[in-house]
Structure 1
Amino acid sequence: MMRQAKPLNIFYQEPDPDRWIKYDRYPRKFIRRIFRGKHQPGGVMMVALQLMKGLDKIGIPYRFNDFSYIKKHPKEIACIIGKPQVLEKFEWKNPIIFGAGIFSHPVDCPNLLELYPNIKKIVVPGQWMKEAFDPFYGQNKVVAWPVGIDTEQWNPSIKANKLSTDFLIYDKVRWLHDEFEKNLIEPIKTKLSGKGLSYETIRYGYYDHEELKDKLSRCKAVIFLCEHETQGLAYQQMLSTDTPILAWDRGGFWQDPSYFPNKVMFGPVSAVPYWNDKCGLKFENVALFEVVLDAFIKKTKAEYFAPRSYILHNLTLEICARKYLDIFDSVNT
């Protein structure tokens, strides 16, 4: 099919409801800015921003949050990145591509397609999440799509000429952190110290990109600790700098305590859903860490890993923007 010249209509807005009284979201936003500084884009906002960067790179025009235009052109496709509250702004007449970055699980809205029958595709960040959504909305309706990584921003030039630290421990353990500090993180640090390996740490939610780049610049490799990821932008950004990763990939059930085990028991999930053997190695639990660590060091010394190559062949801004256009074209028939 020939690519149409008309711009895509992209929509994304951050959820920011009133909390205590009507319109209190506005002073709360102002106070947050004073005490926390400039807002850092979250994962879902990054989906919208990175998609638009990718479209820029391949020369595809788009409108962003032009609600006035879309209301006047009900036959044009609305690309609603998220969140669900955008669906509630008005009565949409347009065919809709919804996602990625919607709700966490279909149990939050099992009647989504009844409420919005004009949703043509539901986009989720990765394959295991698609498998969780399929039984609710249908295999043909749900599609897995990863947003692209900015390989110019995240590139090997950020690495120092001499790498002084063996590992950066990236701590993204979100639930039961005290328990995992004792039973996972500290044992890993003990194993590293016992082998004379140096390390630095960084914890998700407590850093900005500049701090991550600073620490990553002097580390030879990363130990990535997270229960599971729907896509995993941070670890893919690190791979893009040609830094191999030793990843904790426990598998098993989706662990979000808002759902598990009372509302949802879904598995298996993955902490590194986009991956091949050139990215690094994975270990399932702390008991296997030392054996896998030894194998990882051996392969690193043999220059076996080529993580940036994986990103360049699968997850660039351009590649992922084109994949999104494939989804668009499947609706625009």
Structure 2
Amino acid sequence: MSSDPRLFLYYKTAPEANRWLPGDRWIRPLVRRVVRGPRVPSGIDKVYLNLAAGLRKIGVPFQFNRPWHEIRPGDRVGVIGRDRPALAGYDRPNPIVAGVALMTHPSEWPTLCQDYPVARYVQHCQWAIDIYRPYYGDKVCAVWPVGIDTDAWQPASASARTCDFLLYNKIRWNHAAMDRDLVEPIRADLRRAGLTFEEILYGHYRPEDYAAALRRCRAMIFICEHESQGIAYQEALAAGVPVLAWDPGEWLDPARFAWGTPHVAATSVPYFDARCGERFVNHAAFGPALGVFQDRLQAGRYAPRDYIMENLTLERSARRYLKLLNEVASQP
């Protein structure tokens, strides 16, 4: 074994495929950049970027996306994803810490740990990793939340907060029905209560727009079916913005029936406590939750940034990941 084990970190996305004409996979990204501007990092992109930032903060060097043949015995290997191309051609015996995005559901790749020496498969939270346990086993499955950049996401001054709520709309499915039955009634409730709000729609904003909105708003209403991590709402917490979260309590991905897991307990705010805000299960529960939230907000009861600083910093997350790498490297 080498006396100088290194860390090899991989984040490879599935290659773009031709859609309409041969070779248009090279042209479409250029057109998108011209039309939409620079690419906005996705949630999974942020997993790699924040892990890398955390490793730098704790002084751990790493090799990024180097050819497999450069890996020596004893070197530690982490593969974040996405999909099967992320591991294509891996021919080293070194054990791998893999995840969070090699597949959407483990039934899509049940032989992962036989195909490659995956010693740990990570998901961000407990409810998500529980879906993987029947396929990969308790020993392989591990919870690992990525960290939040608390230097980038800082609280604004009280005088800068001129709006009551930021309504963060991340409805994933059944958009028309959900807008009719949940989102629009919440808008109407806020208007009746004389509360000001602005709205941001997931996938239709740039990071700087979100940061500016958080500086203007005293609190956030987070509307999403479920999250394995929820980086955006955690960025709000880091910025000192308490969250009132819709939390229906179960996994609502329509594909869950095809995957054979129709009833899975889940949450939209997997990292959350009384310092962060409140939850409501449906629109009927929104009004009472809003009243409690407003009372506690005005009384200064919330301290969301404290929660992030204790649990989800870049440094803490990087050390957790490093611990997983060292554990699998030391296994016989």
Q: TM-score range by the shorter chain?
A: over 0.9
CA distance in 1, matches of 2:196, 2:78: 46
- The equivalent of 1:260 in structure 2 is 256
Uncovered stretches (5+) of structure 2, i.e. residues with no partner = none
- The equivalent of 2:54 in structure 1 is 54
Post-superposition offset of 1:326: 1.1
- The equivalent of 2:231 in structure 1 is 233
CA distance in 1, matches of 2:214, 2:37: 23
Post-superposition offset of 1:215: 1.5
Post-superposition offset of 1:287: 0.3
- The equivalent of 1:331 in structure 2 is 328
1:22/1:91 Cα in 2 relative to 1: closer, same or farther (>3 Å)? Answer: farther
SS in 2 for 1:236: helix
* Contact 1:8/1:62, CA 8 A, preserved across alignment: yes
SS in 2 for 1:82: coil
SS in 2 for 1:332: helix
Post-superposition offset of 1:18: 1.6
CA distance in 1, matches of 2:56, 2:145: 17
- Aligned residues: percent identity? 38
> 1:203-225 CA deviation, whole Å, 9 max, x = no partner?
00000111111221111100000
* Contact 1:188/1:286, CA 8 A, preserved across alignment: yes
- The equivalent of 2:304 in structure 1 is 307
CA distance in 2, matches of 1:299, 1:283: 15
* Contact 1:70/1:78, CA 8 A, preserved across alignment: no
- The equivalent of 1:110 in structure 2 is 110
Q: Which moved more, 1:279-288 or 1:12-21?
A: 12-21
TM-score normalised by the chain length of structure 1: 0.93
TM alignment of 1:162-177, pairs within 5 A: 162-177=160-175
1:5/1:193 Cα in 2 relative to 1: closer, same or farther (>3 Å)? Answer: farther
Post-superposition offset of 1:90: 4.2
- The equivalent of 1:130 in structure 2 is 129
- The equivalent of 1:98 in structure 2 is 98
> 1:143-192 CA deviation, whole Å, 9 max, x = no partner?
010111000000113x5624221111000001111111111011111111
How well do the aligned residues superpose, as a CA RMSD in angstroms? 1.7
CA distance in 1, matches of 2:28, 2:161: 43
Post-superposition offset of 1:80: 0.6
- The equivalent of 2:29 in structure 1 is 29
Counterpart selection for 1:245 from 217, 225, 243 = 243
- The equivalent of 1:212 in structure 2 is 210
Counterpart selection for 1:270 from 267, 270, 274 = 267
Number of aligned residues: 325
SS in 2 for 1:272: coil
CA distance in 1, matches of 2:148, 2:4: 25
CA distance in 1, matches of 2:11, 2:258: 31
- The equivalent of 1:289 in structure 2 is 286
1:78/1:22 Cα in 2 relative to 1: closer, same or farther (>3 Å)? Answer: farther
SS in 2 for 1:247: strand
Please tell me the residue identity of whatever aligns with 1:76.
D
- The equivalent of 1:139 in structure 2 is 138
1:301/1:323 Cα in 2 relative to 1: closer, same or farther (>3 Å)? Answer: same
1:119/1:68 Cα in 2 relative to 1: closer, same or farther (>3 Å)? Answer: closer
TM-score normalised by the chain length of structure 2: 0.93
> 1:237-258 CA deviation, whole Å, 9 max, x = no partner?
0000111000000012x2222x
* Contact 1:251/1:270, CA 8 A, preserved across alignment: yes
> 1:76-130 CA deviation, whole Å, 9 max, x = no partner?
23211111311114434332111122211111111212222x1111011111111
- The equivalent of 1:153 in structure 2 is 152
Does 2:199 align with 1:201? yes
CA distance in 2, matches of 1:95, 1:28: 37
Post-superposition offset of 1:322: 0.6
Please tell me the residue identity of whatever aligns with 1:30.
L
CA distance in 2, matches of 1:164, 1:131: 42
* Contact 1:81/1:101, CA 8 A, preserved across alignment: yes
Does 2:220 align with 1:222? yes
CA distance in 2, matches of 1:109, 1:175: 24
Post-superposition offset of 1:23: 4.5
- The equivalent of 1:80 in structure 2 is 79
CA distance in 2, matches of 1:77, 1:51: 15
SS in 1 for 2:80: strand
* Contact 1:160/1:217, CA 8 A, preserved across alignment: no
* Contact 1:75/1:93, CA 8 A, preserved across alignment: no
SS in 2 for 1:166: strand
